[in-house]
Amino acid sequence: MLKVDGIDVHYGVIPAVRELSLSVDKGQVATLVGANGAGKTTTLKAIMGTLPAKRGTIRYKGEEITGVPADRRVGMGIALVPEGRQIFSRLTVGENLALGAYHRKDKEAIKKDREWIYTLFPVLRERINQLAGTLSGGEQQMLALGRGLMSHPELLMLDEPSLGLAPIVVVDIYEVIKEINRSGITVLLVEQNINMAMKISSYAYIMETGKIRTEGAPNEVMKRENIMKAYLGE
Amino acid sequence: MFDIRATFSKVDRRLMAVILIAVLFLCLWVASTAFSKYIVFIITLIGVYIVASASLNLTNGYTGLFSLGHAGFMAVGAYTSALLTFPVKGREIFVIPKLPMFLGGPEAAWPFLPALVMGGVFAAILAAVVGLPVLRLRGHYLSVASLGLMVLVTALAMNLRNLTRGSIGINSIPTYTNIWWAYGCAVVTVYVVWRVVNSSFGRAMKAIREDEIAARVQGINPLKYKLLAFTIGAFFAGIAGGLYAHISGAIRPYAFSFNLTFQIVIMVVLGGQGTISGPIVGTVLVTVLRYVLKPLEEALGVYGLVELIYALLLIITMLRKPEGIMGRKSGGPRGGRWVGSLGGKKS
Amino acid sequence: MIVLTPEYIIQQIFNGIVFGAMYALLALGMTVIYGILRLIHFAHGALITVGSFCFYLLFMVLGLPFPAAIVLVIGLGALMGLILDMVAYKKAVGGPEVSMLITSLGFYIFIENLMKLIVSPQPYAFQSPPFLDTIYSMPVLTFRTIDIFIIATSIAIMVFFTLFVKKTKMGVAMRATSESGEAARMVGINIGRVISISFIIASAIAAITGFMWGAKYGQIAYNMGFMAGVKAFVAIVIGGVGSIPGAMLGGFILGILETFSVAFLPPGYAAYRDGIVFFILILILIVKPSGILGQREVE
Amino acid sequence: MKRVTLLVLLIAFVCAAGMLFASGAPTAEKEAKPAAVKEDVIKIGVLMNLTGPWASIDGPAWNSVQLAVKDINDAGGILGKKVDAICIDTKADEAETVSAAVRLCETENVNAVIGYCDTHWVLTAAPIVREYGIPFITPGATHPRIPERSGAWLACFSDAAQASIVAEYAYKEKGLRTVSVWIDNACDFSVACCAFFEDAFKHFGGKVVYEDYFETDWTDYSALVTRLKSRQNETDFVYVGAIPGNIGIIVKQIREGGITMPIYSEDGADTPLLAEVAGRHAEGVIITSHMTLESKEPNVVKYIKGYNAMHGKNPENAFAALGYDATMLVAEAIKKIGSAEPKKISAGLSLIKELKGVTGTISYPAGMQVPNKTVALLESKGGKFLLIKNAAPVYMPPKEIAK
């Protein structure tokens, strides 16, 4: 479904990602893990199109999208729930959700999606007229997820959905991610919380200083990682 | 290719600086004897503006305070030094008040240097007093407050008629400023700025510019450093004002208003904020450009052409090189063209 | 000595409101652009010059009927905005804020001097249509129809604009973009279009403000926009940078302050007007460091 | 090494600029004329703020200098020599003013300098020109202390004279006793003129009720108007020290504020803008000026025709006519003394007696550089300025009043 081939991405003037390749199959939950500053977020932004890839290609559903601007990628079915949520805090919950469906014209389907999101996160329905900035951290994450889903994505990218949340909320969020995946949406997950992420994913990439260090099925990767840690004393 | 910077770093920088200054003054000497008074005047004027722009760079470039009040401090320096040096016999005709006893009495007129320094001191005192409340503001709020300070100074200069003669301004100020005074002051200013920014003091200033909260965590008191930078900047602005008064021989309140403030800001930003060479390059470019284009303007009879070309070049430069001619792209997302403010800036 | 009769006070408040309404309109356009681009759009002041001269040309020289002239002025203003956006700011976006500020200053200098070459430095007399020029003299208040027109139009524009950003899809997208351009792109908003539309709206408002300015004061000149631009900048900062209601409030405060600092002090102090106004503004900022309705800036 | 490249480019640019200067700018013009021919040209340097707040005053004066130069050359020049004028726009900036003055004297080799319609700029430029022994004539700066402060010659009467005329007229012929004075605080001319007016009006027995202040770049005078209205019972008339850029707006706003008292002003108000901007409200405004464009004097008619032919419009204001007369003064002085030597022109100026100019008859009394001229008292009627009378002041306020 998504195939990234040898991209270089710069963040400002600093090269953040070098010759990175990865691919995500339809229906999968793929995970990208790595330490702080490894370039995970930059990778997602390049796939989303908010940062340009200086080299290499990005293909989505067999079509090359390397030069397509971000806002058009949304229409193609790619959505990113960014790190730190980046909801529009001065807009209401309802407006945030509506913006998720900014590019869509199919009113009926939008309504259906909105209802679905309300069943996933009932609390959003209660807070519909509240300013998003006044929500709690967990609620904001739900809103960010909901906003991403409102664009009716086929590929949903999540950037550290568990960041800064209480453990109990994290469990809830992960339940929802599973639910979303079950409904047929491909998920690309970026996490520092490796254990949580590995549990639900079917493929994993480990990033280090802008490159993929290792990849494979989560169990194997975990095993290899443990060995490496033992060897290198990391 | 011959790498100048590598060679630079090998030689002792201090020696290099001394040689540079010697070469500069040699060039100035040649210029002052070889060229007509008109060209020498323009060269001198550039020196005066360098004092102003280099000092503004200290606050705007290195400390990240976007001050628009520089012309106000120049006004203080200009009026102070002009009033102090005004010849005694001319005071009657020009209705300039005689000096009070503690400044030397009615029969005294100050020599240039102490008057100049006094102008700088007055400007610095004003900056210190006003800075204490105003420097707590950030970004555009500080810009407007400093602009307000400038308007206040202008309003006072306009209305304290017994002291400043109001809108008619002060004329026939002795024209003491020559090429040596101008460049002497310019060299001192640039040297002081250079010393300041390369000291622990300067590192603190830059830390504040990059991230005030992080600087505070490291135990830097932002207000103290901002105030010091603001005061030093104002001191040299006062000097620049004094030089300006004694090169043009005439000042009026509106000479130190929006036009001058914006012009100096343009010089600094065009050359490159936060670099030593930036303001100098900006000043030279802007001033030379104006005078080079003048004959063209007169030959075509299209008055205002200079401004048109100037604005056009300004726009093009800023679009091509937003960090200024000598500026370096700052690392990280904030300086980057792509992400920049459209990116993750939270406010 | 000042005589504080009720009529005097009412009349002065009215003067301040009319004056402030025009500042408020300018500030409104400027704050919209600031919100989205982080650009202090100094050239905004030049657009009122362009707007007023366009009306002069269409109405007084070409003799078009008033409604047609107004519509054309708004259209031309919008076009100017689009041109500015296309030639320049698209490229400037994302640079350091100071360089964008200098760019816009450059545009101001360019437009002003171009206007000077085209129309000559002489001021022009501006005749507003007769129905806007009727004087009503009442015991408590003396005003002209143009004053009412200014107040009514500016309130209408402000209401429409508020509804626009609250209720329409584009308006919500504008607010979202002003909060975070990157997040806006992630949800599929075409930022380029949002920027263009903000420029078009802001410039159209500036153009119609130019007409009002001319109609109220009866004289237009090539350099009338500079102080207006500076004042609009001051107004948005006082109101809180980036805040739409703040900009309108800031505009009114500025207009009223300018009037009151003359009206309620002895005559000799009128000369200090600008000094007094800026002094009060500094005080406001010291008490409220992020403007009256601004959010605290988080670095 | 991008920065180094830039630096090298920059140095190259500055050097190139220096060469351009050193070879004597403007090169094209100079090289076109052989040095021998240059001797046969009388060159008048003109300094004006064609850009900036004074553009609307200084521009017309420069236009008229051009017209005068053309008229002189059409009539065969002076002493058989052609006249040439070069104007430098000093952009309302002191440094530009000084540099331009230096340039005129140093590299342009001018015989005389004409400059500015505002006092501050004259006082900035004239002392420099004086050092070269070159005469400086100002068309429209009316401050009476200009000669002693800068050595410049006035082509116009002084503020003291016009203020006295209008004060006398208001008090004696109109029976007005109390006045409010509006002073443009940002304009030195207005400050001085209003001070003379107050002195003269008090001299004749009148009373100044209060002074109010504004600044040149204001557009909204409603606060001042409302104040005037609240005190109209104690005020017979208002004297406004305005310049062409704001007289129309002020009169319009005073009348629209419902105030009917007479409005008086000075030569800054002598502009068609008054009638154009204020429209019917301009009726009856009384001003002092240098001339009236309605005059049927043949030389005035010829001047207006010439101006129209050259610039496609009628003279914008009184300063236009003064620019013409200032040039004619230079020409007359050269003729009188028989030499275009700069140092001798000054002597020639002092010989001028009864020169019939567009703005009246000009003579310099012995030892004075302010001419004896009559003041024209005008009334705005039907969009025109009609002459009430030409008069010489009976009382001259001491020039020390003005700073």
* Rounded average pLDDT over D328-333: 93
Is the pLDDT higher at C69 or at B167?
C69
User: Over 90: is that where the pLDDT of B202 sits?
Assistant: no
Taking an 8 Å cut-off on Cβ atoms, the answer to whether D89 and B255 are in contact is no
Mean pLDDT of chain A: 88
Taking an 8 Å cut-off on Cβ atoms, the answer to whether B335 and C96 are in contact is yes
Domains and CATH numbers, chain C: 6-287 (1.10.3470)
Give alpha helix (H) positions in chain A.
40-48, 70-75, 93-100, 107-120, 122-126, 137-150, 167-182, 194-200, 218-232
Of A12, A50, A51, which is closest to B332 when you measure between CB atoms?
A12
Mean pLDDT of chain D: 87
User: Over 70: is that where the pLDDT of B58 sits?
Assistant: yes
Taking an 8 Å cut-off on Cβ atoms, the answer to whether C187 and A82 are in contact is no
String of b and e for A100-133 (b: at least 16 CB within 10 Å)?
bbbbbeeeeebeebbeebbebbeebeebeeeebe
Q: What is the DSSP secondary-structure string of D288-330?
A: EES--TT---HHHHHHHHHHHHHHSS---SHHHHHHHHHHHHH
DSSP assigned state of C34: H
Check if C94 contacts B (Cβ < 8 Å).
yes
Of D87, D99, D187, which is closest to B167 when you measure between CB atoms?
D187
Q: Give the closest-approach CA distance of C253 to chain D in angstroms.
A: 15
C285 phi-psi bin (left φ>0, alpha ψ -120 to 50, beta other)? alpha
Domain boundaries, chain A: 2-232
Compare all CA atoms of chain D with the CA of B93 and give the residue at the minimum distance. Answer: D149
Cβ atoms of residues B171 and B94 within 8 Å? yes
CATH class, domain A2-232, is alpha beta
Q: How far apart are CA B237 and CA B126, in angstroms?
A: 12
What are the structure tokens assigned to B209, written together?
């510019």
Neighbours of B191 (CB within 10 A): 14
Per-residue confidence (pLDDT) for residue D209, from 0 to 100: 94
Q: How far apart are CA D394 and CA D392, in angstroms?
A: 7
Check if C120 contacts B (Cβ < 8 Å).
no
Per-residue confidence (pLDDT) for residue C248, from 0 to 100: 93
- The confidence band for B309, taking pLDDT boundaries of 50, 70 and 90, is very high
Least confident of B60-74, B326-340, D94-108, D147-161: B326-340
Q: Which residues of B touch D124 (CB under 8 A)?
A: 171, 248-250
Q: What amino acid occupies position D120? A: H
Taking an 8 Å cut-off on Cβ atoms, the answer to whether C221 and D257 are in contact is no
Q: How far apart are CA B118 and CA B239, in angstroms?
A: 9
Q: Give the closest-approach CA distance of B336 to chain A in angstroms.
A: 4
Paired strand residues for A80: A157
Taking an 8 Å cut-off on Cβ atoms, the answer to whether D27 and B295 are in contact is yes
> Is the ipTM value over 0.90, yes or no?
no
Paired strand residues for D356: D361
Which candidate, A81, B186, D298, A182, places its Cα nearest to that of C183? A81
Taking an 8 Å cut-off on Cβ atoms, the answer to whether A12 and B344 are in contact is no
Cβ atoms of residues B315 and C107 within 8 Å? yes
Compare all CA atoms of chain C with the CA of A147 and give the residue at the minimum distance. Answer: C187
Instruction: Please give the CATH architecture assigned to the domain spanning B31-327.
Output: Orthogonal Bundle (1.10)
Q: Give the closest-approach CA distance of C289 to chain D in angstroms.
A: 29
* Structure confidence by residue, pLDDT tens digits, D23-48: 444 433 433 333 334 567 899 999 99
The model carries a pTM of: 0.88
Check if A14 contacts B (Cβ < 8 Å).
yes
Of C120, C218, C259, which is closest to D248 when you measure between CB atoms?
C218
String of b and e for A42-77 (b: at least 16 CB within 10 Å)?
bbbbbbbbbbbbeebebebeeeebbebebbebbebb
What percentage of chain D reaches a pLDDT higher than 70? 90
Neighbours of C105 (CB within 10 A): 23
Q: Which residues of B touch D159 (CB under 8 A)?
A: none
Per-residue confidence (pLDDT) for residue B156, from 0 to 100: 92
Residue-wise pLDDT tens for chain C (299 aa)? 566 888 899 999 999 999 999 999 999 999 988 888 888 888 899 999 999 999 999 998 999 999 999 999 999 999 999 998 888 767 766 677 888 888 889 999 999 999 988 988 888 999 888 888 888 888 888 899 999 999 999 999 999 999 999 999 999 999 999 888 888 988 989 888 999 999 999 999 999 999 999 999 999 999 888 888 989 989 999 998 888 899 999 999 999 999 999 999 888 888 888 899 999 989 999 998 888 887 654 43
CB contact residues (below 8 A), chain C span 118-147, against chain A: none
Taking an 8 Å cut-off on Cβ atoms, the answer to whether A50 and B329 are in contact is no
Taking an 8 Å cut-off on Cβ atoms, the answer to whether A14 and B331 are in contact is yes
Per-residue confidence (pLDDT) for residue B52, from 0 to 100: 95
Taking an 8 Å cut-off on Cβ atoms, the answer to whether B338 and A13 are in contact is no
Per-residue confidence (pLDDT) for residue D20, from 0 to 100: 56
SS3 C50: helix
Q: How far apart are CA C104 and CA C40, in angstroms?
A: 7
User: Over 90: is that where the pLDDT of D205 sits?
Assistant: yes
Q: Which residues of A touch B336 (CB under 8 A)?
A: 11-13
Cβ atoms of residues D225 and C11 within 8 Å? no
Per-residue confidence (pLDDT) for residue A219, from 0 to 100: 85
DSSP assigned state of D138: E
Q: Give the closest-approach CA distance of D13 to chain C in angstroms.
A: 22
User: Over 90: is that where the pLDDT of D134 sits?
Assistant: yes
- Residue A109 CA: distances (Å) to CA of A101, A114, A150, C194, D199: 10, 8, 10, 25, 84
* Structure confidence by residue, pLDDT tens digits, C270-286: 888 889 999 998 999 99
String of b and e for D210-248 (b: at least 16 CB within 10 Å)?
bbbbbbbbbbbbbbbbbbbbbbbeebbbbbbbbbbbbbb
* Rounded average pLDDT over B115-129: 95
Half-sphere exposure at residue A34, Cβ-oriented, CA atoms within 13 angstroms: 25
Compare all CA atoms of chain D with the CA of C259 and give the residue at the minimum distance. Answer: D223
Q: Is B92 exposed, middle or buried (0-12, 13-18, 19+ CB in 10 A)?
A: exposed
- Determine the angle formed by the axes of helices C97-119 and C225-239, rounding to 10 degrees: 150
- The confidence band for A231, taking pLDDT boundaries of 50, 70 and 90, is low
Touch test A–D: 3 Cβ pairs or more under 8 Å: no
Check if A232 contacts B (Cβ < 8 Å).
no
Per-residue confidence (pLDDT) for residue B289, from 0 to 100: 92
Q: How far apart are CA D247 and CA D282, in angstroms?
A: 10
* Structure confidence by residue, pLDDT tens digits, A133-185: 899 988 999 999 999 999 999 999 999 888 888 888 888 899 999 999 999 99
Q: Which residues of A touch B328 (CB under 8 A)?
A: none
Compare all CA atoms of chain C with the CA of D245 and give the residue at the minimum distance. Answer: C123
Question: For an interface test with A, which of B339, B341, B347 has the most A Cβ atoms less than 10 Å from its Cβ?
Answer: B339
* Structure confidence by residue, pLDDT tens digits, A177-195: 999 999 999 999 998 878 8
Per-residue confidence (pLDDT) for residue B346, from 0 to 100: 30
Per-residue confidence (pLDDT) for residue D98, from 0 to 100: 92
Taking an 8 Å cut-off on Cβ atoms, the answer to whether C237 and B140 are in contact is yes
DSSP assigned state of A60: E
Check if C134 contacts D (Cβ < 8 Å).
no
Question: For an interface test with C, which of D190, D226, D228, D313 has the most C Cβ atoms less than 10 Å from its Cβ?
Answer: D226
- Determine the angle formed by the axes of helices B179-197 and B200-210, rounding to 10 degrees: 70
Taking an 8 Å cut-off on Cβ atoms, the answer to whether C221 and D226 are in contact is no
* Rounded average pLDDT over A44-55: 89
Per-residue confidence (pLDDT) for residue B338, from 0 to 100: 31
- The confidence band for B343, taking pLDDT boundaries of 50, 70 and 90, is very low
Per-residue confidence (pLDDT) for residue B94, from 0 to 100: 83
Q: Which residues of B touch D241 (CB under 8 A)?
A: none
Per-residue confidence (pLDDT) for residue B8, from 0 to 100: 55
Check if A13 contacts B (Cβ < 8 Å).
yes
Q: How far apart are CA B338 and CA D233, in angstroms?
A: 66
